[in-house]
Amino acid sequence: MSICARVSEELAEPLGGSAPRAASWLLIEQTGPWGPRALTESHFHPELGRDLQQLTRGTGVEIALIRRPGKHADRPPTGERTVHLAHTAPGRSWVRTTQLADPHTLRDLDFAAVGAGEHGGFGTAHEGDPLALVCTNGRRDRCCALLGRPLASELAAAGHAEVWEVTHLGGHRFAPTMLVLPYGYTYGRLTAPTAKEVLEATHHGRIVPEFCRGRSYWDRPGQAAELAVRQNHAVDEADALTVTQTGDPAAPADPDRWLVRVQHRDGRAWQAQVRRSAATPARPESCLKAPTTPDRYDVLSLGALPVTAWAATA
């Protein structure tokens, strides 16, 4: 195991609350090698990449490039490319897929609407196996290449999902990492057996909390609180829980504390107190970076709420 992933695991750094934040995802096929900033440093059109970054800013839409597992010849792509558009809200998640000869038409998308869960008739509904996106961009982080590429190849060979390599999911030190759609849960420190377990669970509408970093639809305090409920109350249905977070009234001036209410669709509800702090000792967030103290999100308390209490405050 390479440096940043090994150190993070040795320090038992928690996975919960570390998932990338995105209400929706735009995933564009781009073959060949990727640079550290793949959207503008690859065979993808750099001007279009910059335009899409500007158009999606503040909309809740995250853009990433994808490619099939395997060897990647250093030549410009020809013909059509696959594009996936996905939304990750509980109970309203979807994936839409199309083939595009000219990716410049993506400028015409209403990204504010996409971030709010409206696809506007883009492509066709993706059906069947979940999408499994394994981070493999070695130009951004060595761990993602050394640990992610073999995992993506094995999953693709096993036929457990529609498998893609993806440019960036954050949290290099949790490699190998994988985003699973339509639900938007990100996982870390996977092995081939545990990744296959995750994909089998996803196929049946469930998640595996043990390896989960969080659902991208929630902010990070909400991710941590949701996973605490799942781990303590054996909730594995992917769309069973919704989250509402507020500042902590016990510490109104503290921007690093939250109260998070987690509601089950069966009426049960919980309240979690979440604190953000610096992870110590310092560790590399990436193999290419100096050691630092990244944010961690800890659930300090978790208690059940009466259904009437939730209804009064929702």
- In this structure, the number of other CB atoms found within 10 A of the CB of residue 156 comes to 19
Contact in structure between 103 and 135 (CB atoms under 8 Å): no
Which two three-digit tokens encode residue 186?
């990100």
Sequence-separated (6 or more) residues with CB below 8 Å from residue 218: 21, 226, 243
Model pTM score? 0.91
The SS3 assignment for 12 reads coil
Is 42 in contact with 33 (CB distance < 8 Å)? yes
Identify residue 172 by its one-letter amino acid code.
H
* Predicted pLDDT of residue 73: 62
One-letter identity of residue 99? Q
Helices marked H in 129-219: 142-143, 149-158, 192-203
Residue 103, preceding bond cis, omega within 30 degrees?
no
CA distances from 55 to 23, 27, 47, 111, 283 (A): 15, 15, 12, 7, 34
Residues 6+ apart with CB under 8 A from 164: 27, 29, 66, 67, 68, 69, 131, 132, 133, 134, 152
Who contacts 277 (Cβ-Cβ below 8 Å, separation ≥6)?
256, 295, 296, 298
The rounded distance, in Å, linking the Cα atoms of 259 and 222 is 9
User: Which H helix or E strand runs over 265?
Assistant: none
Q: Give the pLDDT confidence score for residue 249 in this predicted structure.
A: 72
What is the secondary structure of 219-247 as a DSSP string?
-HHHHHHHHHHHHHHT--BTTSEEEEEEE
If one counts every other C-beta atom within 10 angstroms of the C-beta of residue 138, the result is 16
Q: Which residue has the tokens 């209410």?
A: 261
Residue 201's CB: how many other CB atoms inside 10 A? Answer: 17
Rounded distance, CA 301 to CA 14, Å? 16
- How far apart, in Å, do the first and last CA atoms of the chain sit? 45
Q: Is there a cis peptide before residue 306, judged by omega within 30 degrees of 0?
A: no
- What was the pLDDT predicted at 253? 76
Helix axis angle for 192-203 and 149-158, nearest 10°, is 50
The per-residue pLDDT for range 62-85, each reduced to its tens digit, is: 999 999 998 766 666 667 899 999
Look at residues 185, 212, 151 and name the one whose alpha carbon lies nearest to residue 14.
212
Instruction: Give pLDDT, residue 61.
Output: 98
Are 289 and 279 spatial neighbours (Cβ–Cβ below 8 Å)?
no
Asked whether the beta carbons of 185 and 22 are under 8 A apart, the reply is: no
Residues of the chain predicted below pLDDT 50: 1-2, 309-314
What is the predicted pLDDT for the residue at 1?
43
Residue type, 131: L
